Amino acid sequence: PKSGTNKVKTVLLYELLKLIGKGKSQNDLSKISRLAAYMFSSTESNIYNDAQPGIRLTKYHQKEIEKLNSLLKDLDIPIEIKKDIEY
């Protein structure tokens, strides 16, 4: 998808929040899901249902991950999204 999948966007949001000390361990998942739903034009329940068991990006997301990592590198943001790990 041109704009990215909600799973990859949610992982990016997790990592950005973690970078500023407001990650999943410092916040309630439902609050993060509410913010993600607002930002991604999705529903809070869809985001939460994906996020609650943990998000694992796969080979399906590889091209999207590569594009996102390139964008982050261009902005000098010290985040690298990876597949096959649980977020």
**Average pLDDT rounded to a whole number, residues 49-56:** 93
Q: Is the pLDDT of residue 1 over 70?
A: no
pTM for the whole structure: 0.90
Distance in angstroms (rounded) separating the CA atoms of residues 87 and 51: 8
Please tell me whether residue 77 adopts helix, strand or coil conformation.
coil
Mean of pLDDT values over 42-58: 94
Residue 53: Cβ within 10 Å count: 8
> What pLDDT is stored for residue 3 in this prediction?
77
Rounded to the nearest integer, the mean pLDDT of the chain is 93
